[in-house]
A and B are shown apart, each in its own frame.
Chain A
């Protein structure tokens, strides 16, 4: 492959992987069964799209060797006018989509592929490219992936392998910092806040938190918010929950029994983090996104929206796999009759969030996503973290309770 026998695209891909692998001291490459690419056009920019187009132009036979899927795109074409997206954004988006399709990539446009496409299994090596996806699949599924940025995930798709370092190795999956939870979260934004807190304290990619003391087994959506926030605040790629996640049946299975308890976290700590995102009551917009909503989250949201009339925009963003089911089960109708919008195939912060704010005059944004409040401050928003119930009430009254 490195000699070019499989074409220039595969040659460049493996050369990139060797460079990264050498940097991290990888002994070899590990075969992967799936790849997942984060590649919104805001990140690619024109140069990234041109690189992608050149890849297909210079090697027309280049195709991915393993199932390779796509993270959320930069818009929902059906709702672009609601968002205020410009024609140049949509044109760049169309070019990027054409470039990815030419390589045989499935445009699944989702960051919840572990809920909607195919969850990896314990020990399965994959090359996933969204921090929330990686932390969930490593921790909850027991699969093995590093954070694979867009170019590296494309390379993994083209070569069918990835450098064997980091979370592909048993040693990197051992706990490095021990937490004791004195309180068990209740709502999704509580789970997100606890995850964010642990990520902030753990501090970097190579730290692996182990958490003991949780009073019940969380569901997939709760762990989705927990992990996504941890990865966002801490760049974390893996956690263990004792008695819950597959590599942590017992504390000693993680190596955590040899660690002192570094932090005890209770309800007051979670409330303190949430209070950092409660600066205002008046809101301009409500957004449910990051990660995309599952069918069950949309079910809860639809029940809350039913019979209301919103005075502020409410955006609920899901995956293209969930959206038809939400339509079929009448969930979209309930949300949109109240004045909300159900969008699919994008994620709010990966869709030119700064330009959306300017186009619509949105600044004070209410959400139940701890991951999103961490990100949107850098885009000029005043992000406000609240429960799903309070966010819906704010869409109706213009004010958080």
Chain B
């Protein structure tokens, strides 16, 4: 299976590899404006993942959006165990990177191809922050 290498990477707790199901959309990510953080679903009606549960999933999205609140919110989401397993983005702003650092969330960003087009929605993927890589384990949902 093809391996995708990111230009930027950050490990979660202990920098370990993570494996999970990918939710993929050509849309943005903002913890404050896109999510029902209590219910653990995408809540902004116009978001392409609206209604889908993000807890424990690898989110593969276009870019980080919105204001600075996400820097606090990822840790708050982690404290309740309702948090994505990892974030994979074509581009990332400082807020989500700072929030991932604060909340120990695995993060990859910046690829040679459009990562939202390269990963099938529902595929099982494995992320290794140490090698900045994402591997498709099983392309079928």
Q: Do A and B come from one complex?
A: yes
Q: A residues touching B (Cβ–Cβ < 8 Å)?
A: 16, 19-20, 23-25, 38-40, 42-48, 51, 129-131, 146-152, 166, 203-206, 231-232, 235, 375, 377-378
Pairwise interchain contact B65-A149, C-beta atoms closer than 8 A: no
Residue of A with least CB distance to B31: A43
Q: B91: which of A42, A147, A204 is its contact (CB, 8 Å)?
A: A204
Pairwise interchain contact B79-A149, C-beta atoms closer than 8 A: no
Question: When chains A and B are docked, how far (Å) is the Cα of A43 from the Cα of B74?
Answer: 10
Q: A151: which of B33, B72, B91, B93 is its contact (CB, 8 Å)?
A: B72
Q: In the assembled complex, how far is the CB of residue A43 from the closest CB belonging to chain B, in whole angstroms?
A: 4
Known: A24-B94, A206-B91. A149 touches B99 (CB 8 A): yes
Q: Mark B64-89, 1 if CB is under 8 A from A, else 0.
A: 11111111110110011000000000
Question: What are some 30 contacts across the A-B interface (CB < 8 A)?
Answer: A16-B98, A16-B102, A20-B101, A23-B9, A23-B10, A25-B8, A38-B68, A39-B72, A43-B32, A43-B76, A45-B76, A45-B79, A46-B79, A47-B75, A47-B79, A48-B75, A51-B75, A131-B67, A148-B68, A149-B68, A149-B72, A149-B95, A151-B71, A151-B99, A151-B101, A151-B102, A152-B71, A204-B91, A232-B67, A375-B33
Pairwise interchain contact A378-B44, C-beta atoms closer than 8 A: yes
Question: When chains A and B are docked, how far (Å) is the Cα of A76 from the Cα of B76?
Answer: 24
Q: B97 at the A/B interface (Cβ < 8 Å)?
A: yes
Q: In the assembled complex, how far is the CB of residue B107 from the closest CB belonging to chain A, in whole angstroms?
A: 8
Q: B53 at the A/B interface (Cβ < 8 Å)?
A: no
Q: B residues touching A (Cβ–Cβ < 8 Å)?
A: 8-10, 32-34, 43-44, 63-73, 75-76, 79-80, 91, 93-95, 97-99, 101-102, 107
Contacts of A147 in B (CB 8 A): 68, 93-95
**Further contacts, 7 of them, CB under 8 A, given A149-B69, A235-B93:** A23-B107, A24-B94, A46-B79, A131-B68, A147-B68, A147-B94, A205-B91
Q: A48: which of B76, B95, B98 is its contact (CB, 8 Å)?
A: B76
Known: A47-B75, A378-B32. A20 touches B94 (CB 8 A): yes
Pairwise interchain contact B101-A16, C-beta atoms closer than 8 A: yes
Residue of B with least CB distance to A207: B91
